[in-house]
Amino acid sequence: EAQVTQNPRYLITVTGKKLTVTCSQNMNHEYMSWYRQDPGLGLRQIYYSMNVEVTDKGDVPEGYKVSRKEKRNFPLILESPSPNQTSLYFCASRTSGTYEQYFGPGTRLTVT
Amino acid sequence: AQRVTQPEKLLSVFKGAPVELKCNYSYSGSPELFWYVQYSRQRLQLLLRHISRESIKGFTADLNKGETSFHLKKPFAQEEDSAMYYCATSGSARQLTFGSGTQLTVLP
């Protein structure tokens, strides 16, 4: 089954404790993105990747890092999480020939 | 930079009533427009795109370049249509820009 998976689905952590949210897709998609979803603000892009070893900042990249060492994986790294990063995070992927994005199930992160 | 505006954060209609979710965009090129839907506790999924001119689950959306709008319409709303709806547009760097979303509630 074609899908985008994220882990963990739920995470509660404390300020400053490094964490990684994994994202994996099995559709051989070139493009992958990370978004955060906040009430009243909708979906905002954090980072995106157009292919292996090619990443770029989205609209709200501060406080986040990404890497794309393999085509199927696109982890989101929070080196020193802060409470304002409490949010619902979505990973998405798409092929280069279309704008249709396939979204993961979301990761709800709480930073205390 | 491209921008997508969804003026209504919340919209409630009664079952069987027509519904229109508004979307306006700003982009100087020839954008592609999309509507994504997120049902409760589910992931976002593509509802429809303007280039396909299709009707999905009774919803349609017409691109009006003069008004830079891409409103989503359905003549008779159903309770199962209750969801968060996002309008999105393509833009520079071949990325999607999403609006802030409209939470639609269809009342019985």
Give the chain A residue whose CA is nearest to the CA of B91.
A99
Question: What is the tens place of the pLDDT at every residue in A43-73?
Answer: 999 999 999 999 999 989 999 999 999 999 9
Is A10 an 8 Å CB contact of chain B? no
Residue count of chain B: 108
Q: CA A36 → CA A39, B11, B77, distances in Å?
A: 10, 23, 29
Give B66→chain A minimum CA distance, Å.
23
Is B32 an 8 Å CB contact of chain A? yes
Burial class (CB in 10 A: 0-12, 13-18, 19+), B14: exposed
Is B45 an 8 Å CB contact of chain A? yes
Spatial separation of the C-alpha atoms in residues B31 and A87, rounded to whole Å: 29
Q: Per-residue confidence at B1, pLDDT binned at 50, 70, 90?
A: low
Give the chain A residue whose CA is nearest to the CA of B49.
A100
Give the chain B residue whose CA is nearest to the CA of A101.
B46
Q: CA A20 → CA A5, A38, A87, A88, B43, distances in Å?
A: 14, 19, 14, 14, 20
Given a contact cutoff of 8 angstroms between Cβ atoms, the answer to whether B96 and B88 are in contact is: yes
Q: How many CB pairs under 8 A join A and B?
A: 47
Determine whether the interchain pair A100/B46 forms a contact, defined as Cβ–Cβ distance below 8 Å. Answer: yes
Is B100 an 8 Å CB contact of chain A? yes
Which of chain B's residues have a Cβ under 8 Å away from the Cβ of A90?
43-44
Determine whether the interchain pair B43/A90 forms a contact, defined as Cβ–Cβ distance below 8 Å. Answer: yes
Give the bridge partners for B86, in sequence order: B36
Beta strands in B1-108, from DSSP E residues, in sequence order: 3-5, 10-14, 19-21, 24-26, 33-38, 45-49, 60-61, 72-74, 83-90, 96-98, 102-107
Give B49→chain A minimum CA distance, Å.
9
Q: Average pLDDT of B41-58?
A: 84
Say whether pLDDT at A8 is over 90: yes
pLDDT, position B67: 87
Q: Average pLDDT of A79-100?
A: 92
Q: Per-residue confidence at B93, pLDDT binned at 50, 70, 90?
A: low
- The side-by-side arrangement of strands in the sheet containing B72-74 is B19-21, B72-74, B60-61
Question: Tokens standing for A33?
Answer: 């993105």
Output the average pLDDT for chain A.
94
Say whether pLDDT at B42 is over 90: no
What is the distance between the terminal CA atoms of chain A, rounded to a whole angstrom? 36
